Each structure stands twice: as structure tokens, then as C-alpha cells.
Structure 1
Amino acid sequence: MPLWKPDPTFYPSPRDAAAAPPEKLAYVAAFDRSAARPDAIAVLDVDPGSGSYGQVVGWTELPYTGDELHHFGWNACSSSLCPSSPHPHVERRYLIVPGLRSSRIYVIDTKEQPTSPQIVKVLEPGELAKRAGYSRPHTVHCGPEGLYLTALGGANGEDGPGGIALLDHSSFDVLGRWEVDRGPQYLAYDAWWHIAHDVLVTSEWGTPSMVEDGVVGELLLGRKYGHALHFFDLRKRRHVQTVDLGDEHQMVLELRPAHDPTKQYGFVGVVVNVEDLSASVWLWHRDGDRFAATKVITIPAEPPGPDDRAGLPPVIEPFGAVPPLVTDIDLSVDDKWLYVSCWGTGELKRYDVSDPFHPVEAGSVRIGGITRRTPHPAAPDLPLAGGPQMVEVSRDGRRVYVTNSLYGAWDDQFYPDGVGAWMARLDSGADFTFDERFFPHGDAWRGLRPHQTRLQGGDASSDSYCYP
């Protein structure tokens, strides 16, 4: 009989993951804003000892146009080792890549040709609509029982509600809607869990009509975007609690739960406070037998400076200030460092969150920005648009990758003269600084805009662990 062993990139605990070998490749979703050309998965060499370090070494073009690739994920990860629903013989092999605009889902095999991944299956929009009742797939997480796919829209042209679809680990077929009882949640965005406690958490952005053509000023000022967290019983698939952050806190996005499975807390970013244009990070945590949320980081808006290289875009010109626009956060695997991307001001902040209730800022870099247009150290004469947007952290916490595009229509609103295309890497240790050897930009992206990054073998935002 063959001796079956779990995938070596599955780790029982966060400590094991942090001690694993470093990544050699990064997979990055890149999309064509005009929808005239196909989107692609770019493969980047992230091995500092390689002669092609920092370069795009692979390019898998998709067969259709208009997908707008967004938050993709692995088909399987360390949660496959959990005793409650073990799947130890699946492999972290396939990337599950949703098209946020097209509602099409791609399954891409990275095993046989890691630098030339192959498309092995395409799920058409009708499958998601028919089987789960959803459209506009947004985020993929590998977890117990299968693949959890959050979606912003309802099926057959319906604007909502959004929710979660479940896909099979092996066949990648859409099994159906995950929720048995979604409770009052209507707007959707992200979902993640405290897997050892049977708790699933979700956040809120907006329905397709609220986001696909950019920020709708009337809805924003009317406080109509998402402003709550929702908690579900993971096993029973039932809504149990809503925690409203206050309707001034608009767009509650990325969820980053503690990786330590004995803990029941996590961080979530809020894009903007409509009262003062600040952004914030909140901590959800247990309070008796219920969950509560506490604002632990506030980042104020900035006035345009006299040496700014670009004026304010029309969407924020009436306010006379630049909002930070916290659009992504990421928590290191050891739960020590929280990285916060301020896409509007062009700043990436690092916080020591060893005490999650009292984060301490411990480093900051500037690149891009709505008005500052700060260059990368490797190209000091090249003003950059966009800002740190999607953030991904290596398993050992020493490397941080950022890309600069948020979402096509929003890019165009906040950077109307063009958002450009670039990716950067930072070294995170005693110092927090740019790696000057790593700066794929401009023509490296073949006219597409880079969005989310996934690291070969897993990263800080793709795994959950069942052992402390």
C-alpha cells in the first residue's frame, strides 16, 4: 500500500508555518481595466538568490475578457489538518480565481509547471447562480468541508443579498449556498473564522450596483455602505450576532483573525469615517458569551501639502483633504505585526499588536498616494500613482508584498490621471524598509493592473491552524 502523507505545505500550528522554508514564487492577479484584453495570473520570482529575482517569470492569460480578477485563493491549506473535518490527502495545488465582474471562476493548476500554471476548469456564472443563488464572487478561503467563496450579489441580475457559496475541494463544483440562516445580513464582503471555536465572521461592503461604477457619493454620505460585523455558528451555518460599528464607519472590509487557534479576536479595517475622513482598525473580541468590537487604531485624513505633485480628484475635492482609505490589512502568522495599507495617502503602516487592545506603531513607509506621488527608492525620479493596497506577508513574517490597484472603477475615481502598475517588497525586521531590488512596474505588467498576491506554499492570509 502507498504511504499517504499530508501536503508538506500544511502546517499544524502557526509556529510550524513560520519555521518553514521561504517562498520562491508569488502569484499575482492582474486585470485589464478596459476589458479589451484578457486578465492574467502573473508569476514572479521572489527568491533573492535567483538571477531573475523581482521579475515576472510566468504569465497565464485567461481565455475571456472582462473578468476583473480579484481575491483568489488556494484550493487547500493547513485547515485540512483540523480534526473536526480532516482532508489530509488533498494538495495545495490549485488556485481558485474568481472574476469579480464576470462571475466566472477559474481553477488553475500550479503543480506541474509552477511558472506556467494551467487552467484546468472554468465555472461559468450560471453555475454559481443556479447552485448557490449568488453572483460577483469576491474572496476565496480554503476551510473545513470545502472552499468558501464570498459573493457580493444575488443571482440572475439581482443586486443582493450577497453571501457565501461552498465549493467542493476536489471537483470544484459549486455545492450550494453555505448559509442555512443568514439572519439580517444583506451586504457582503469577506468571511473568515475562529475554526477551533466554530465561529465564522463576515463583513460588509456593498451590492454590485453600489460598487461597480465607483463610490456613489450619495450612498456614502447617506451612510448606506456596510458598517457591521456578523457572527455565525460555523457548524450550524446560522447567524447568531450582529455588531454594528456605527453608520459613520463606512465599508467594513478585510477580516484578519488571530492565527493562534486558542484565541478569539481579530482585526478588521474600515475604509472611511464620513464625519472626518479618517480610517480605522477595529478589534473584535469575546465579551462574556457575546462578541464586541473596539476601535484600536484611528488614522486621520491629511491636508494636501504645498509640494504635492497632483491636485485632489473630484471625488474628494469638496473635502479639501486626503483620506487614508484603509483598504487592506494583514496580520503576521505569529500575531505580532499588523500591516495597514492607506491607499489614499500612499502609506503602509506597521503596528506591534502583541497587546491587541493597544497597538503601537512600529514603522511606516510612503509610496504613491493621491497627491504625494512618492517614488520607490529604486526609481527616485519616477512619481507613482496608486498606493499600497493589497498586502501579503510571508509565513515567517520577514517579507511584505504590496500591489497598487484597488478596483478598476475606484482606481479611476481616486487616481483619474491613471493609477499605473507596480509591486513592491519590504523587509520587516528591526527596520521596516523597501527592498530596492524588488520593484516590478510599468511594462512588466503588460498593460494590466496588479491586485492580490498569493505566495507559493501559503502566506499570512491564506491559512488557518487548528493547533496552537
Structure 2
Amino acid sequence: MLETLRPDPTFHPSARLAMEAEAEHIAYTVLLSPDQSRPDALVTVDVDPTSKTYGTVLHRLDMPHRGDEFHHFGWNACSSALSPLSGHPFLQRRYLIIPGIRSSRIYIVDTQPNPREPRLIKTIEPEEVFRKTGYSRPHTVHCGPEGIYISTLGGAGKDGTEGPPGVFILDCETFEIRGRWEIERGPQKLHYDFWWNLPRDYMVSSEWGLPPQFENGLVAQDLLAGKYGHSVHFWDLRDRKHVQAIDLGANHQMALEVRPAHDPVREYGFLGVVVDTTNLEGSIWTWYRENGQFHIRKTATIPPEPADAAQLPALLKGFGAVPPLISDIDLSLDDRFLYVACWGTGELRQYDVTDPMKPALAGSVRIGGIVQQAGHPNGKPFGGGPQMTEVSRDGKRVYFTNSLYSSWDAQFYPDGVPGAQVMCNVGANGGIELDPAFHIDFGPDYAAHQIRLQGGDCSTDSFCYPSA
């Protein structure tokens, strides 16, 4: 009985203590079938360099349906359970919550008793999501102190445009949908990512677009007309109300990933913007709070790379250049290095953000890319470019996959994006290098998206206590 009254050992009060924990041995990666000819899947990957099966797929769990389009997923519980406000301090980091962004179906997968062979235990059908929340297209999953938060990209109706998308709560023990999170929404009409600073009691959310703007590919007319998301929103977490919105300008299209500092003492965070329509550059922004007000500033830009129109897909031929297309960012647990995935140019950048207002380029690797099409160090080709990025707790390894979204993959990489997962080793003082011994080819029938690491990672956990 006493064993059940102790917090999960993978929960850590502070980011610094999480960095000292045992390294990950396995990773969980979601695969999707771009042509919907087979079910999407969850694979278990061996990431232990001392193992004889290092860098291979240990197990694949196929889902019972087709057409889900796996994208982001997360844990049922994490270090946020150690919050003084938590009603669930003795949960385990055990279940993976996997939404289908296209089907609005949600799968609950149990990683016990054998973490290498997880099993499906529950399916939440889309009709239940629609009925209890009025939302559709579930996207980002975060474990909070009192439940599982899931953001959505669609509102009600068949095409998800009848009302705004938002966030809903899933019970972290029964996996029953409780309902919408928002009490006072304010001006928020689009959604994408969200995260928070728990002790400071605020949440940040971002914007992509409504389902007709992404499900069948990028809508160029909407992009050039500034109709994709270009604002960030700040919320009172406990009162569940909108407190402030900042518009970045309609030229800054698709304000996507938000990454707050892991140490809750630090009231700042980072935002990645996919493209500036005036010059095709991507950008990194730093938000911060000062005297009770939130502010945001563009702190780094990444220029497009000139290219012959003959080398470009139809969507880009008229521009004569490849935009970086910042599709993901991730922050190391010590808040020192920010990783920026440039899916279009095929570059993963590492910035030293010790001064969050002055990111300094510290490392870079090239692989894939619309024009460059750089191969892996082992000589194998790499379709797509660096995309969903996950950093190990100790900050020494950076894993990434190569698919953005099936219909967008086809537009930007018409030759295909066979699923792959690779890894970079990180230098003690910065710098990154692709590991020649780690390259997983999931084959032409699957695309690969988000990665979760056993025991937690840098885009999973939120911490309630300062690092000593």
C-alpha cells in the first residue's frame, strides 16, 4: 500500500533535478499513413546506445481505425503533479494520450506492464468529443496538476468552423471528457499550441488556422492575404479567462510552437513563426511579463535561401527561394539552448538563449531540405527536413522526425517523405552533430511525427519549483 502513496520517480520538482535523472532507454514515436491505406501506429524505438538493438524499432502498435492522422500526443501525468495545487500527486506517468487530428478520435495507450510493448486500452470516439466540448481536431496534449489539457484546431460542425476552437479537459484517471476549459475566451478565435508557467498562474496559446486552411494543404491565397494565425494569447490559468492578446502583424503567418522557460522563476518564453510573407524569413520571438503586462519581441530571424525555380515545387516556383519554414522549436531543460527546426531548408539550428532577448547561433546541422536534399552521415537519403524535435532531459541528445502534415508534405516534397527518425549529439558548450549510428527508416508507407521519451522530455514536463 505504501508504494502507491509515493510520487512517480520520473516526476521532478525542478528542471535541474530532472536533468540529473537516468537517461531514456526507449522512445515512443507516432506514425501515420499519408494515403490512409493502413491504420496509424505507435512505435517503440530503442535509444539505449549500450543495447544490441540500438536504433531499431522494438514494437509497433497498429490502431483499429484508418484516417486518424496522428500528430501530437502526450502523457497522462508528469512533473506538474507535484504542484501544491494538485489533486493527483500519486499518479504514474503511464498512459499516452494520442489524438487523431483528422478524425477527432483519441486513443489511450498503456505503457505498462511492458514499456516496450504498449497496448491500447480505450478509444474516445469523435462523436463524444463533439458532444461534450463543441470542439474538433484535437492537437496538443499537456498534463496539468488537475487533469489532461487538450487543445483543438477546429470548432463545431463538419468542417470545424462553427465557432472557435479551444481547450478541453480529460480526466487523468478515468479518461472521461469533462468539458471546455475556457470560462472567458475574449477575442481568441484560432488555436494551435499552448503551455504555461504553473506557479505564476498563466498560460500562453498560439494560432495556426481553421481546418479548411490546413486539412487539404496550405491555401496560398489565405497565406498571402494574412488569414492564418498571427497572434499570441495570454490567459489567467486558475480563473480560466483570457487576459491579453498580442498581434504580431498579419505578415507573420502561423505563430505555432510556444516554449516557456522551464524554471518557473523565469517569466519568459519563445515562439516560432513559420514565415514572414514580405520576405519569406522565419522568426523566433521572445515573450516576457513586466509590471503585470505581457510583451513580445522578435529576437532572431532566419532568411530564405535562393533557388532555381526548376528545383522548387509548384507552390514556391514564383518566389525563387526556399523559406526556412520553422515548424518546431524546443528548449533544453536548463533553458540554455533553443532548437529550431527549419523544415523547408533542411536545417536544425541550435541557439544559445542564455540571454533570451539575444539568441546566438551555436550550432547547426543540414539534412533533407526541399532543394539541398542532404543525406544522413551514413549515406542514406532523408526526405522532408527536420521537423518534430525532442530534447533529452540531460540536454545531450536531440531527436527529430521529418513529416509536417500529410497534405503539406505532398505540396512541399512531391517526391515523398518516407518516415525517418534521427538524432544529434550535443557538445558540452554547444554545437550539434548528427549521430551516424542512429537512423531509423520507417519505410515509404508511413510518415513520422512526434516523439516522446521514456521518463519525460523537454516538451512534456512543467515544473513547479525553482532550480537550485
Interval containing the TM-score (normalised by the shorter chain) = over 0.9
Structure 2: unaligned runs, 5 residues or longer: none
Matched, 1:419 2:417: yes
Which residue of structure 1 aligns with residue 72 of structure 2? Answer: 71
More off after superposition, 111-120 vs 71-80: 111-120
**Letter aligned with residue 71 of structure 1:** H
Matched, 1:434 2:437: no
Q: Equivalents in 2 of 1:261, 1:87: separation in Å? A: 20
Matched, 1:164 2:167: yes
Which residue of structure 1 aligns with residue 319 of structure 2? Answer: 319
For 1:141-152, list aligned pairs within 5 A: 141-152=142-153
1:37-82 deviation digits (Å, cap 9, x = unpaired): 0000011000000000000011000000000001000000000000
For 1:359-398, list aligned pairs within 5 A: 359-379=359-379, 382-398=380-396
Which residue of structure 2 aligns with residue 99 of structure 1? Answer: 100
1:15-35 deviation digits (Å, cap 9, x = unpaired): 110000000000000000111
Structure 1: unaligned runs, 5 residues or longer: none
1:403 to 398, 401, 404: 401
Superposed CA RMSD in Å reads: 1.2
Which residue of structure 1 aligns with residue 339 of structure 2? Answer: 339
> What's the CA shift for 1:88?
1.4
For 1:55-454, list aligned pairs within 5 A: 55-157=56-158, 158-159=160-161, 160-304=163-307, 311-379=311-379, 382-430=380-428, 431-441=431-441, 444-445=442-443, 447-454=445-452
Q: Equivalents in 2 of 1:144, 1:7: separation in Å? A: 14
Q: Equivalents in 2 of 1:156, 1:227: separation in Å? A: 24
Q: Confirm or deny: 8 A CA contact 2:419 2:444 kept in the other structure.
A: no
Q: Confirm or deny: 8 A CA contact 2:387 2:404 kept in the other structure.
A: yes
> What's the CA shift for 1:98?
0.2
> What's the CA shift for 1:311?
1.0
1:195-226 deviation digits (Å, cap 9, x = unpaired): 11110110000011111011101100000000
1:167-216 deviation digits (Å, cap 9, x = unpaired): 00101111000001111111110111011111011000001111101110
Question: Any idea what SS the aligned residue of 2:338 has?
Answer: strand
Q: Equivalents in 2 of 1:26, 1:41: separation in Å? A: 10
Deviation above 3 Å: which 4+ runs of structure 1? none
Q: Equivalents in 2 of 1:421, 1:144: separation in Å? A: 34
Q: Equivalents in 1 of 2:382, 2:21: separation in Å? A: 34
State the identity %: 55
Q: Equivalents in 1 of 2:444, 2:99: separation in Å? A: 21
Q: Equivalents in 1 of 2:329, 2:220: separation in Å? A: 24
Q: Equivalents in 2 of 1:182, 1:289: separation in Å? A: 19
> What's the CA shift for 1:336?
0.3
**Letter aligned with residue 274 of structure 1:** T
> What's the CA shift for 1:446?
6.7
1:84-126 deviation digits (Å, cap 9, x = unpaired): 2242111000000000000000000001121111000000001
**Letter aligned with residue 68 of structure 1:** E
**Letter aligned with residue 32 of structure 1:** S
Per the normalisation by structure 2, the TM-score is: 0.97
1:286-340 deviation digits (Å, cap 9, x = unpaired): 13221010001100000127xx9x7100111100000000000000001000000
Question: How many residues of Structure 1 are paired with residues of Structure 2 in the alignment?
Answer: 461
> What's the CA shift for 1:385?
2.1
> What's the CA shift for 1:154?
1.2
Q: Equivalents in 1 of 2:401, 2:365: separation in Å? A: 14
Matched, 1:23 2:24: yes
Q: Equivalents in 1 of 2:280, 2:144: separation in Å? A: 36
**Letter aligned with residue 188 of structure 1:** H
